[in-house]
Structure 1
């Protein structure tokens, strides 16, 4: 029989061992898109550098339902700082408008960690198309209704919603074909299944540089240095901008110490000159910040995009 005086030290020792074991567990970054896409590539770069710096990180892909599958999975996970959502405008705002029922509440079920990067949305197309830029595409779409098939990485993702808003504002339409991430959409583009694709630079840069795809327009105030010949929408006569951003969120109730540790590790990595160079080579601009700054930014984006989506009167989706 164990003496009563030995029980407390024994329990304390077990707690220490348990805590140490948990500390050695890797952090899982849950990506709402298919493996191989632009966001996935950037997250894997970040995970690799974090691991090199002593924060063990693995990437887990849970694509589908415009990020709802991944977001719900993380929202239901234990709030121990070990399961982290790669969040975006879709998962934290737009899904509330586009889906009739949400299994999670983006404002109540998550705590902010840090932004990790951003990039403007772009439209890419096959090189054999009868139009070479957005202005020519709009003219073609109006002259040939229903002839353009437009891909996107998901219904609620900005690279679908921004082009849709642009179409509504300029009096034409395309046939939307959603995919579970950028990678399968780009493959569909290359196989002539679709004509154009709303995306980001990361998932298509190598194909653009190889001359297999063409950037029709950039939704930003300035051209991208990686594809300097690609005109912005504004240069083509359309005052339209849309920037994709990515952040990290954890389940509500996650200890503040865990959030601060991850925030510090992430911000140290994305500030490294070598990391910035490698990120920009794939079309991503690193951007960090505090959890408080992320919370304010998300609220601002929510207030900008949600009313716009409601004005489009889009049919509710089921996940």
Structure 2
């Protein structure tokens, strides 16, 4: 799963993925390489395309550590590609050096500005208050969990046992009160130290994937997992849970105008993405994405 739950020490996982893509690119004829994402016109985005894109977009590399993160990056690439096609259809000029670039983010941004209505912040406090009253969904605090997490590389062996089986055994031991979550986290820290183990503090459930859906459905005191996602296997403990709630006007009066502007931009982008993905028939190939990690679908 995308690691919202730790610090940014991701070098080992990224090197592993980079090596995987390099092997894939070298071993296959690019023209025959399976597509991770397809357009209805027949064009595909391959693992090699993804690797090259991440060479340029360093800011996105941290997302591409698991299947869900790769899907998000692929959607961003697909939107850039669709916007390039739209710009060419509109006759929007491109610099000669960019003419052959399939995923030209700067050009895509210029085209999206032409296709999208402008967003403006409310002019004054009264306008911001009207927006607040008419758009309560823009002023919600998402559900929050105070989580404990143990994560291990799926390929790791712990005390001579595969990581997933070891975590399953630890979950049974915790249920029998013969060990504690903190003790398990401390033992896991001796195996994998590139991310923090144990208590992660409060986590906002602002995104959704299979693992986060399971966490959102859990109650305080419950264990969730072991669950495999991408190259890692996880065990979670839900310490506390807070449901989502609407913010009162007094809590957001100062930031309401900025929230309104961000809400407009997010929704404008989502509408444009939905329209272009429908127009160009964007389809992710989940099976091929799973093969990037040498695994089948995560345990759900």
TM-score normalised by length of structure 1:
0.21
Could you tell me the TM-score, scaled by structure 2's length?
A: 0.22
